[in-house]
Each structure stands twice: as structure tokens, then as C-alpha cells.
Copies of this chain bind each other. A is one copy, B any other.
Amino acid sequence: MSVKPIKLAKLRRSCSTCHLRTLCLPRSLDRDAMNALDALVGSRVLRERDHLYRRGQASHSLYVVRSGSVEVHIEAPSGDEQVIGFYLPGDLVGLDALADAQHSTTCVALETSNLCTLPYSRLEALCSRTPKLNRQLDSLLARELCSEQQLLLSLGRRGLEQRLAVFLLDLSRRWGTLGYSSARFRLTMTRGQIASYLGSAPESVSRAFSRLREAGVVRLQGRDIHLLDMARLVELSVAPGPFRHVQPAS
């Protein structure tokens, strides 16, 4: 909110001059470590629908979204797909391959996007020399775990409107962190992708959006969204879902 919007034109291959540096991996790294990181960072550009990696592919790098946005999904043997996350500038992608050097997910660009690449082998080497970076990585892994848990399981059940509210508030917060408006932004994904992410059908998502619009909670035209009534959104997002499952304290 008080952060200045990040000017994409000024993003560079060098971490030390990158406007994302306070939000990205090098956060809290000292000068030396950052320079070492710089030395191994590569760059990659994707157009809409280009794949960053596919399920089953051997993994060579971690990635950081520098501009644009990407979608990560898993593919069932039966062929259908399930979106498990949307990633914005500053987000780390590709952690799933840390387990066995092979991607279990597929990553696709939602729009033209720039990414930093961090080759595993060199990153690992640097990590063992730089405990702080190592801990930073662990921390990010754990954070990813938590956010998966929080979101995808807060999204776990309740009505679709409530899940949609959680989803919108999450995006809002993240755009805000990046210095953009948290009240007004563009959804870079289709209704179908949102539906998949929320475990629903495109038509249902469309209907849920319409209800929010009619209730004056959001303003919508196409993929541009304006959050008009944050309070109501928050209220929806924390709405006491049906599932009690309480157990008395010990």
C-alpha cells in the first residue's frame, strides 16, 4: 500500500538492482551472498500458454516470477487437470521438484511473463556455503506449505461464494504487497481456471461472481475486478462454515 508500484522496465537480471529484491529470495541476504546469487541467476521469457515445465520432466532449476503470472496444475492419469496455484511476481515456482529432481506438476504462463532461473546444482552449492540462504529457502518452502494449507483448505469447503471471497482477498493482499492497488486488479486467469482452483465448475464461478456483483460487493468487467466492499468480503471469507468437528480440550 505504501510501497511504490514496481516499474517492470527497471527490473534487471541483477538482484541487487531488482525492485523485487525485498520480496524475493535475496530478502535479508547480505551483499556478498546477493552477489553470489546474482552470478547464477538466469532469465527466461514465456508467452501466454507457454509451458515453464511439465509433469514428469527432469528439473534443472527453481524459478522466480519476475513479471506476469503463471498457473501450476496437476494432471490426473485420467487426463483432467486441477489448478493448485497462481503465482505472481516475487513468487517462487518449481519447489515441487526438490523431492526427487522431477516435476510432479505442470506450469503454464497466464500471460507474457519474465522469470529468473536458479539452477539447482549451483544453488545447492551456494546454499552449503551460505547457511542464511539455506534457511531462507527452507523458510520459503515451509511458507509455501503453510499457504497451500491455509488457502486450499480454508477453501476446503463452505459455499462457493465464500471460497471465492477467500480467493479474491488472497489475490488482493498479494497485489497490495507488490505495491499495486489491492482494491482493483486484473484476473489473469480464466473462469475455468479459477473454477478448477476452487474445485468447482466455470458456470458456478460465473454465477458466484454475478451474485457478488448484484450484492454490490465487487464491480466486474471481464477480467478487471474492483473490490467495493472489503468488509463484506472478509465477513464472507471467515464465515462460520458448517463443519463443527469440535473436540473438547484435554
Q: Measuring CB to CB, which residues of chain A are less than 8 angstroms from any residue of chain B? A: 49-51, 73-74, 76-84, 95-100, 104-105, 108, 124, 127-128, 131, 134-135, 137-139, 141-146, 148-150, 152-154, 156-157, 192-193, 195-196, 199-202, 238-248, 250
Asked whether A98 lies within 8 Å of B139 as measured between CB atoms, the reply is yes
**Does the CB pair A142–B80 fall under 8 Å?**
no
Contact B138 A96 (CB under 8 A): no
Q: Could you tell me if B80 and A243 are in contact, using CB atoms closer than 8 angstroms?
A: yes
Q: How many copies does the complex hold?
A: 2
Known contacts A83-B245, A157-B199; 9 additional CB pairs below 8 A are A51-B250, A74-B149, A77-B238, A81-B246, A82-B245, A98-B138, A141-B142, A145-B145, A192-B245
Complex Cα distance, B135 from A99, in Å, reads: 9
Q: Do residues B245 and A80 form an inter-chain contact, with CB atoms below 8 A?
A: yes
Cβ contact within 8 Å between B84 and A157: no
A80-B244, A144-B145, A245-B195 known; A49-B250 Cβ under 8 A: yes
Nearest-Cβ distance from residue A190 to partner chain B, whole angstroms: 9
**Bound-state Cα–Cα, A196 to B98, Å:** 29
Q: What are 18 A-B residue pairs whose CB atoms fall within 8 Å in the complex?
A: A49-B248, A74-B149, A74-B150, A78-B239, A80-B245, A82-B157, A82-B243, A82-B245, A96-B142, A100-B139, A138-B138, A138-B141, A145-B145, A148-B148, A152-B152, A152-B153, A152-B156, A196-B243
Q: Are A238 and B96 in contact (CB under 8 A)?
A: no
